[in-house]
Amino acid sequence: MFNVLALLLLGIASGYAFRNAGLLKNIDKGVSATVMLMLFVFGVTIGTNGELTRNLGRYGVHALILALFGTAGSLLASYFANKLTSRNSKKGGRR
């Protein structure tokens, strides 16, 4: 884990140092291609795992439930945060 964070920080520092270099202006295409290749390889790995593919329906239902509850929780939290901040702004006379 430390290696991943160290590489991330090294990449951030390098990007900041060379942000005006012409070479790095078109790096987005390379990053996109790399991410697509990694997703493909990840899909192949999942497809070759027999236990995972046999239980994919069950995992999918669990993932759907987690996604729905996560979204509902985020919506509720933003609703209450909006109510709290709008109430505070009314007390200050601004709105």
Per-residue pLDDT of the chain (95 residues; tens, 9 = 90+): 899 999 999 999 988 888 887 777 778 788 899 999 999 999 999 889 988 888 888 888 999 999 999 999 999 999 999 999 987 666 655 54
pLDDT of residue 88: 65
Please report how many Cα atoms fall inside a 13 Å half-sphere around the Cα of residue 58, on the Cβ side: 5
pLDDT of residue 89: 66
pLDDT of residue 18: 83
pLDDT of residue 21: 76
* CA distances, 17 to each of 8, 10, 66 (Å): 14, 10, 40
Contact 46, 53 (CB under 8 A): yes
pLDDT of residue 3: 93
Longest dimension (CA), the chain: 63
